Amino acid sequence: MISGHTNYLLGEHVEFSRWKQAVAEAYKVYGFLPFESRLVERATDLEKKGGLAKEIYAIKPYHKDSGYKEKSLESSTLCLPFDHTVPFALFLANNPDTKLPLRRQDLGYSWRVEKPEPGRFNAFVQADVDIIDRNLNVFAEMECILAIVKALEALKIPPITVYLNDIGIAKGLVTKMGFDTDEKKEQALKVVDKLDKMSFEEAVSEIMALEPAEGKSTVSSLVEVFKYKGNMEKFVKMYQKDSRFGSEFMEQINTLRELVGLLEASEVDPSILQFCPGMVRGLDYYTGVVFETYLNDAPHRGSIASGGRYNNLVSAVANESQAKALADIQGFGGSIGLTRLFDVTMREGMVDVRLKTSSKVMICQRKVRDAAEKKALTGKAIQLAGRVRALKIPTELYTNSSHRTGKQLGYADDKGIPVVVMVMSEGSFVIKKMYDSTQSDVDTVDKVVSHIEKMFE
């Protein structure tokens, strides 16, 4: 076992592989082109955005006599990226002629130096979608969130809730408390970000300790607004006539209302979309709409998919000569923490990891002593495997014909292979359905193939 890294058993490997394929296919349906981020970046580039410098892994030679000079390492240390978004932004900064809009998906590893705990790893798979363009509009938010919701549906996990907010709303509410410096506003927002982990009184007390210009009653009423979680329209009815909130606040609220409406029009269940003005995440990253997704049956496990609008990330990671020309490039993206979600669903008993193979059919042959007969049966087994594989049905050829039939069937049963074809002779085949123990006898390869094709139509 290696702490902070996945130590999957065989069935878990099979299921996690299925998850990755299902998510990639779901993203593909929404037009997100496969894009693999570079596996290493310079430390100086990764430190330009994100505030995660202390969590970055550096890559250095293992052997002292590797031929690398320490001086060269210090000047351009290569590191493992902590997410996919910064490497993507670096790609765009280095390829400014890339045709926009650009929709991409990226399923791969990220690395972070942090204390491992349940659901938190040092190396983990993220499944990202992003849309990059100039003058990006609300359709980008809708498309990314929609793709993520549909990908989660494809995994057949339990019900979810998607919480929506706009960073501007949170910053506006903090400003109403009377903080007049960016430092104090950021400190107050960090308190807001912990609302779920503290009582109402504790939150008010911590914010008052930051010495806002407004009194305790105003701060208390605004903390009450921050703690709201629920239907968007209900919130509007509660606060649209509140004199404390001006036109800019309502404009941001209406942008979120438009987003919710677009998602509902795209057949997203309205009940899973909730407004959460106290959701503050990625202040170093995000500039607008943000979202977080939770499992309804395990909210204590934390967010399993999240993202937001980043309007200045590409220009921020570009060099000085590029930055001005890239200043109007905007992006919205989200990510399913696939490793985290898989860990959570296993801990909560929500995922079946009993299947130990991707094979749907296994071809085996009767044990015989005669060398010529054995060669003939092997030839039929190979022919049959080729014919079934031509149908694009995952097929396994049992490789040890010296084993008894019972042992071969036991192997298929242990792996969870649903159908076994036994070559008994050149003109005799048994098709056995492992899930109900029924079997059929046929006399030609063509008939075997026809039977299997109908099973998996």
- Segment 409-422, tens digit of pLDDT: 999 999 999 999 99
pLDDT given at position 73: 44
Q: Tell me the average pLDDT across 51-68.
A: 76
Cβ-based neighbours of 370, under 8 Å, separated by 6 or more: none
Closest by CA to 27, choosing from 145, 161, 185, is: 145
Q: Is residue 75 scored above 50 in pLDDT? A: no
Classify the phi-psi angles of 145: left when phi > 0, otherwise alpha if psi is within -120 to 50, otherwise beta. Answer: alpha
Q: Is residue 425 scored above 60 in pLDDT? A: yes
Closest by CA to 95, choosing from 308, 285, 317, is: 317
Q: Tell me the average pLDDT across 445-456.
A: 95
pLDDT given at position 355: 82
pLDDT given at position 50: 62
CA distance 382 to 393: 15
Give residue-wise pLDDT tens across range 138-178: 999 999 999 999 999 999 998 999 999 999 899 888 888 99
CA distance 388 to 448: 9
Cβ-based neighbours of 425, under 8 Å, separated by 6 or more: 366, 377
pLDDT given at position 68: 57
Single-letter amino acid code for the residue at 263 = L
Q: Is residue 390 scored above 80 in pLDDT? A: yes
| Residue-range domain boundaries for the chain | 10-347, 361-455
Single-letter amino acid code for the residue at 45 = D
Q: Is residue 281 scored above 80 in pLDDT? A: no
Instruction: Quickly state the pLDDT bin for 447 (edges 50, 70, 90).
Output: very high
Query: Which string of DSSP letters, residue by residue, matches 127-181?
Result: EEEEEEEES--HHHHHHHHHHHHHHHHHTTPPPEEEEEEEHHHHHHHHHHTT--S
- The lowest-confidence range among 2-16, 243-257, 383-397 is 243-257
Q: What percent of the chain has pLDDT over 90?
A: 68
Backbone angles phi, psi at 247, to 5 degrees: -65, -35
pLDDT given at position 62: 74
**Which tops the pLDDT comparison, 242 or 82?**
82
pLDDT given at position 196: 85
Given the structure tokens 């280095």, which residue do they identify?
Answer: 94
Closest by CA to 367, choosing from 408, 312, 333, 316, is: 408
Please tell me what DSSP assigns to residue 36. Answer: P
**Which tops the pLDDT comparison, 268 or 1?**
268
Instruction: Quickly state the pLDDT bin for 352 (edges 50, 70, 90).
Output: confident
Q: Is residue 408 scored above 90 in pLDDT? A: yes
Classify the phi-psi angles of 416: left when phi > 0, otherwise alpha if psi is within -120 to 50, otherwise beta. Answer: left
pLDDT given at position 76: 67
**Which tops the pLDDT comparison, 239 or 159?**
159
CA distance 308 to 289: 5
Closest by CA to 128, choosing from 96, 83, 75, is: 83
Q: Using only C-alpha atoms, what is the Rg of the chain?
A: 28
CA distance 321 to 188: 36
Mutual orientation of helices 200-208 and 182-192 as an angle, nearest 10°?
A: 170
Q: What percent of the chain has pLDDT over 70?
A: 96
Q: Tell me the average pLDDT across 87-114.
A: 94
Q: Tell me the average pLDDT across 245-272.
A: 91
Please check whether residue 328 is in contact with residue 292, taking contact to mean a CB–CB distance below 8 angstroms.
no
Please tell me what DSSP assigns to residue 398. Answer: -
CA distance 388 to 449: 6
pLDDT given at position 67: 61
Q: Tell me the average pLDDT across 131-140.
A: 94
pLDDT given at position 72: 47
Four-residue CA torsion sign, 179, 181, 184, 188: positive
CA distance 233 to 257: 8
Please check whether residue 448 is in contact with residue 384, taking contact to mean a CB–CB distance below 8 angstroms.
yes
Q: Tell me the average pLDDT across 301-322.
A: 90
pLDDT given at position 17: 94
pLDDT given at position 413: 93
10-347 under CATH 1.10.3430.10, yes or no? no
Q: Is residue 265 scored above 80 in pLDDT? A: yes
Q: What is the mean pLDDT of the chain?
A: 91
Please check whether residue 223 is in contact with residue 170, taking contact to mean a CB–CB distance below 8 angstroms.
no
- The lowest-confidence range among 71-85, 130-144, 337-351, 362-376 is 71-85
Closest by CA to 126, choosing from 115, 143, 111, is: 111
Joined together, the tokens standing for residue 367 give: 């044990």
Q: Is residue 31 scored above 80 in pLDDT? A: yes
Q: Which fold has domain 361-455?
A: Rossmann fold (3.40.50)
